[in-house]
Amino acid sequence: MISLEANIRDNSTKGKLNAIRNSGGVPCIVYGGKDENQKISISKKLLKSLIEKENFLSNIITLNVEGKSQNVLPREVKYHILSDEPIHVDFLRVLPGVKIKIDVPVNFINHDKSPGLKRGGVLNIVRRKVELKCPSEKIPENLIIDLDGVDIGESFKISSVKLDNEVTPTIQGRDFVIATLAAPTVMKEPEKPAETETTEGEEGAQGTEAAATETGDKPSNEESKKEGDDKKTTDKKPSEEKK
């Protein structure tokens, strides 16, 4: 369990709160149960290291306040609008037997043992967190979904997740889907445009005609003209002999 050192603060004015922040602290408040709300401050450096980890708002934390420890659950973190630094945290006291609502993350295991994923299937995650109602002492760290042997077309619903008898989802009346294993998307290659094929055919015909001219299969214009002149000369000779 995570442990944090905290100091009691008796200030509430804006100037005093800013002084705590400027000195590297973050004002917080602890509420819930029969005890009065308690104003405290914690180290911003330690708080940021916890926030950077996953599931900060789903983990029970032990606060050590002047030698006394108490279990709390982070409920809300407020951030500066420009710097995005944490400036205030609300903690809820964790009391035995008291049920609370909490978002619990979903973890998927054994990806390498799924035949559907090996064949290119896609895991579509519908809900990365599920809101549960449970006793504070029975809050699950996460919900586990095993992908071992799972093939394409299968889905995971809340009924497939093992929960304690006292732990129930806040959504009631339907067996909602958490994730599905879908078939891979196949991309088709675009077809060649018809104009391109026509152009290539015309270029091929022109190339054949040019080749025929070079090899002598088709006479040139000069050769055709010469043959015509020779024919005319030959036709005229018999007429001259008659004279």
Please write the tens of the pLDDT for every residue from 115-169.
Answer: 999 999 999 999 999 999 998 888 888 899 999 999 999 999 999 899 999 999 9
**Whole-number pLDDT of residue 243:** 41
Residue recorded with tokens 């006394």: 68
User: Dihedral, CA atoms, 115, 121, 127, 132, nearest 10 degrees?
Assistant: -10
The fold of 100-182 is RNA Polymerase Alpha Subunit; Chain A, domain 2 (2.170.120)
Residues of the chain with CATH 2.40.240.10: 2-94
**Whole-number pLDDT of residue 212:** 43
Residues of the chain with CATH 2.170.120.20: 100-182
The CATH number of the structural domain formed by 2-94 is 2.40.240.10
Per-residue pLDDT tens over the stretch 199-225: 444 444 444 444 444 444 444 455 444
> Is the entire prediction scored with pTM above 0.85?
no
Higher pLDDT, 188 or 104: 104
Cβ neighbours for 18, distance < 8 A, ≥ 6 positions apart? none
